[in-house]
């Protein structure tokens, strides 16, 4: 029979350190768990497995109850079967009967001093709680800076807790901020309330954080590149402290900053702002506490920065180089965006850094199903990997279909689904530096493509919609999504996809007209299905189209009112094709 015991990680590290100081010292050990496994068969033919918890283990004078039957050494736990690569240590009880603890390293483990860079990458650098952070100078300074900001903004005042009121707890959240190369730029400590104990309608009425859509950010960068503008980056410190609470909220004092005899009383606008027109245009994009500013006049941008610094505590980060995990490069020819650093980080976290690269994210014609009979995999790990890849699609439209496809199996992923995810990671390995280039000058028009693949889902027979919009010949918005209803024909699937594209086109054109201060123009959407085009241009309900949901006929009204123009494009020139299916190698390169 084999017995495996697992020591608490923190306790294990402490004892390793103590053992280096006095390796011959007698110690009492506290075990957190043990598992007994053996070859003995039960009456039903299964393997015996027992689990339990042994707390505060004290060695007895007569020896350990858990000692091996063949052991003559007292107070020693059982030993694993000896293997040829095992090496005896000076204090191994098998050769030193006077010893009561085996100092031989546990198989599969390393001493802390022997960890290399690859091992250290797996260590979470951020503290989980105040106890882990209070002894580190950088985190202590970060917490003091957070408390200083809170007091400066008069966020709360100390008061006695009213009778019948239960205070809300506070928690420190720590985050090490890094740049695209992985260098540490800041240690951030944020004090947050445990809001999950509050009830909607009783403790609060509305929760809102101002964010800019990723399509807006890309369009803003594309406009700035086309106009030859520079984009600047600002960071607002303690953004949430500038909000005004109507409710009266009581919270506990934070760990490390407790004042005895009192309780804490805490008091607790659009995402794109445009100022001026023409040569005086100034555009600001807001994503919670990250601000983008661009415009024609450099002096105007500097003046706005100074005005904002008077009212807000801010950090001027200069020219935009890194934003929400996206690397931005600006030069006289235009602006480029990519997520090379983030892609490499994904490969490290998934242990795929040394994998063999491939030229396709998914094999053409590959079909996956929820009813797959292969073994199940860890759903948490699967969701984590897919979630990381989804964020990578913000600058990689070539990944949208494959990542969206594997996202359909989050509930109960199988081995074949995980293999498809690893195929995507192998493709990422060979294309980490891919991104989008927005060039200077050129066209100011918005142009779209719409496509669909009919009945490609093996589980429910639904089609996949793909759409992509270009500004100045570079993509600013794209989407790959399974349709909400089953289409009875490829014409119907294309019709439904074009309607979805029309909604996005109208929103993008309105946003573009606001950014440039120009009149809205009709957006051209190219479709590769002649029957669907005829259905869009003909306001009559034909026999084969009368069953289509009424909302999908919205595009007819848009075409009739001149907001949308539809045009035929050959399948070979369909730019949205990559968003609806896995393409062969030659088509993928296009």
| Maximum average pLDDT range among 8-22, 25-39, 543-557 | 543-557
Query: How far is 120 from 279, CA to CA, in rounded Å?
Result: 52
Beta strands 272-275 and 282-287, pairing class: antiparallel
User: Is residue 121 over pLDDT 50?
Assistant: no
Reported pTM: 0.68
pLDDT at residue 414, rounded to an integer: 95
Beta strands 523-527 and 474-482, pairing class: unpaired
**Please, which residues have CB within 8 angstroms of residue 468's CB and are 6 or more apart in sequence?**
397, 448, 449, 475, 477, 478, 479, 575, 576, 579
pLDDT at residue 543, rounded to an integer: 60
pLDDT at residue 202, rounded to an integer: 63
Please state the rounded mean pLDDT for residues 292-320: 84
pLDDT at residue 473, rounded to an integer: 92
Distances (CA, A) of 151 to 144, 253, 362: 11, 13, 54
Q: Which residue has the tokens 């039957």?
A: 69
Beta strands 249-251 and 263-266, pairing class: antiparallel
Q: What is the 3-state secondary structure (H, E, C) of 15-76?
A: HHHHHHHCCCCCCCCCCCEEEEEEEEECCCCCEEEEEECCCCCCCCCCCCCCCCCCCCCCCC
pLDDT, one tens digit per residue, over 63-85 is 444 444 444 444 444 555 556 55
Q: What percent of the chain stands above pLDDT 90?
A: 36
pLDDT at residue 224, rounded to an integer: 93
Distances (CA, A) of 392 to 71, 386, 493: 56, 10, 28
Q: What angle do CA 380, 370, 409 make, to 5 degrees?
A: 35
Coil/strand/helix, residue 579: helix
User: Is residue 303 over pLDDT 90?
Assistant: no
Coil/strand/helix, residue 467: strand
pLDDT at residue 261, rounded to an integer: 53
Query: How far is 62 from 74, CA to CA, in rounded Å?
Result: 7
DSSP conformation letters of 214-252: HHHHHHHHHHHHHHT-EEEEEEETTGGGGS--SS-EEEP
Query: How far is 83 from 135, CA to CA, in rounded Å?
Result: 42
pLDDT, one tens digit per residue, over 27-62 is 444 444 444 444 444 444 444 444 443 444 444 444
Other CB atoms closer than 10 Å to residue 124's CB: what's the count? 7
Which has the minimum average pLDDT: 126-130, 203-207, 580-584? Answer: 203-207
For the record, the structure tokens of 469 come out as: 């919009």
User: Is residue 576 over pLDDT 70?
Assistant: yes
Query: How far is 436 from 447, CA to CA, in rounded Å?
Result: 16
Contact 197, 311 (CB under 8 A): no
- Burial group, residue 149, by CB count within 10 angstroms (0-12, 13-18, 19+): middle
Please state the rounded mean pLDDT for residues 358-372: 92
Query: How far is 328 from 335, CA to CA, in rounded Å?
Result: 7
Domain 443-589 fold:
Nucleotidyltransferase; domain 5 (3.30.420)
Using CA atoms of 572, 576, 577, 578 in order, give the dihedral in degrees to the nearest 10: 120
Which has the minimum average pLDDT: 44-48, 102-106, 183-187, 309-313? Answer: 44-48
pLDDT at residue 44, rounded to an integer: 42
Overall residue count recorded for the chain in this entry: 590
For residues 426 and 141, which has the higher predicted lDDT (pLDDT)?
426
Averaged pLDDT score across all residues of the chain: 77
Please state the rounded mean pLDDT for residues 179-189: 78
Segment holding 132, helix H or strand E: helix 130-133
Q: What percent of the chain stands above pLDDT 70?
A: 67
User: Is residue 3 over pLDDT 70?
Assistant: no
Which has the minimum average pLDDT: 176-185, 325-334, 494-503, 514-523? Answer: 176-185
User: Is residue 462 over pLDDT 70?
Assistant: yes
Query: How far is 109 from 125, CA to CA, in rounded Å?
Result: 20
Band the pLDDT of 98: cuts 50, 70, 90: low
Ranges in the chain annotated CATH 3.30.420.10 = 443-589
Dihedral pair phi/psi, residue 166, rounded to 5°: -105, 120
Q: What angle do CA 314, 320, 321 make, to 5 degrees?
A: 120
pLDDT at residue 76, rounded to an integer: 47
10-46 in b/e form (b: 16+ CB < 10 A) is eebeebbeeeeeeeeeeeebebeebebeeeeeeeeee
Distances (CA, A) of 322 to 329, 396, 477: 9, 17, 20
Query: How far is 121 from 345, CA to CA, in rounded Å?
Result: 10
Coil/strand/helix, residue 213: coil
For residues 103 and 170, which has the higher predicted lDDT (pLDDT)?
170
Contact 1, 40 (CB under 8 A): yes
pLDDT at residue 396, rounded to an integer: 95
Q: Work out the end-to-end distance of the chain between its first and last CA atoms, rounded to an integer number of angstroms.
A: 61
Dihedral pair phi/psi, residue 282, rounded to 5°: -135, 125
Band the pLDDT of 290: cuts 50, 70, 90: confident
Query: How far is 417 from 370, CA to CA, in rounded Å?
Result: 9
């Amino acid at each position: 029979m084999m017995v495996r015991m697992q020591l608490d990680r923190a306790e294990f590290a402490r004892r390793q350190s103590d053992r280096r100081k006095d390796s011959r010292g007698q110690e009492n050990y506290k075990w957190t768990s043990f598992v007994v496994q053996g070859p003995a068969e039960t009456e039903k033919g299964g393997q015996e497995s027992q689990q339990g918890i042994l707390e505060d283990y004290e060695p007895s004078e007569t020896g350990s109850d858990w000692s091996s039957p063949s052991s003559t050494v007292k107070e020693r736990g059982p030993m694993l079967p000896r293997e040829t690569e095992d090496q005896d240590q000076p204090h191994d009880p098998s050769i030193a009967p006077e010893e009561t603890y085996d100092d031989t390293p546990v198989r599969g483990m390393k001493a802390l001093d022997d960890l290399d860079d690859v091992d250290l990458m797996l260590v979470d650098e951020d503290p989980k709680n105040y106890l882990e952070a209070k002894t580190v100078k950088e985190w202590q300074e970060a917490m003091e800076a957070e408390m200083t900001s809170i007091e400066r903004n008069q966020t709360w005042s100390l008061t006695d807790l009213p009778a019948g009121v239960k205070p809300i707890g506070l928690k420190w959240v720590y985050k090490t901020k890094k740049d695209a190369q992985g260098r540490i730029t800041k240690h951030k400590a944020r004090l947050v309330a445990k809001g999950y104990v509050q009830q909607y309608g009783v403790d609060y009425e509305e929760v809102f954080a101002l964010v800019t859509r990723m399509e807006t950010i890309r369009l803003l960068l594309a406009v700035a590149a086309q106009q030859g503008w520079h984009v600047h980056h600002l960071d607002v410190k303690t953004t949430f402290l500038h909000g005004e609470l109507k409710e009266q909220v009581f919270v506990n004092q934070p760990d490390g900053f407790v004042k005895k005899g009192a309780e804490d009383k805490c008091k607790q606008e659009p995402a794109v702002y445009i100022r001026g027109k023409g040569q005086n245009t100034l555009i600001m994009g807001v994503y919670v506490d990250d601000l983008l500013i661009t415009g024609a006049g450099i002096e105007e941008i500097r003046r706005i920065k100074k005005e904002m610094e008077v009212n807000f505590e801010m950090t001027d980060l200069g020219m935009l180089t890194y934003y929400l995990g996206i690397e931005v490069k600006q030069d006289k020819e235009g602006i480029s965006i990519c997520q090379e650093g983030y892609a490499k980080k994904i490969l490290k976290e998934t242990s795929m850094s040394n994998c063999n690269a491939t030229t396709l994210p998914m094999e053409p014609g590959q079909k996956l199903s929820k009813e797959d009979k292969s073994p199940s995999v860890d759903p948490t790990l699967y969701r984590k990997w897919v979630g990381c890849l989804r964020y990578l699609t913000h600058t990689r439209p070539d990944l949208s279909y494959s990542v969206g496809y594997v996202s359909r199996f989050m509930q109960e992923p199988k081995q074949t689904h995980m293999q498809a995810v690893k195929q995507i990671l192998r493709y990422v390995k060979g294309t980490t530096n891919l991104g989008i280039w927005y060039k200077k000058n050129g066209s100011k028009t918005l142009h779209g493509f719409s496509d669909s693949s009919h009945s490609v889902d093996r589980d429910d027979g639904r089609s996949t919609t793909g759409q992509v919009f270009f500004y100045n010949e570079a993509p600013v918005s794209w989407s790959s999504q399974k349709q909400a209803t089953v289409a009875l024909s490829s014409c119907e699937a294309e019709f439904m996809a074009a309607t979805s594209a029309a909604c996005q086109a109208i929103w993008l054109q309105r946003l573009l007209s606001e950014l440039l201060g120009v009149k809205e123009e009709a957006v051209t959407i190219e479709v590769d299905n002649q029957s669907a085009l005829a259905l869009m241009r003909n306001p009559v309900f034909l026999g084969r189209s009368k069953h289509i949901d009424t909302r999908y006929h919205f595009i007819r009204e848009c075409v009739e009112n001149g907001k949308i123009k539809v045009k035929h494009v050959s399948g070979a020139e369909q730019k949205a094709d990559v968003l609806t299916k896995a393409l062969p190698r030659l088509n993928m390169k296009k």
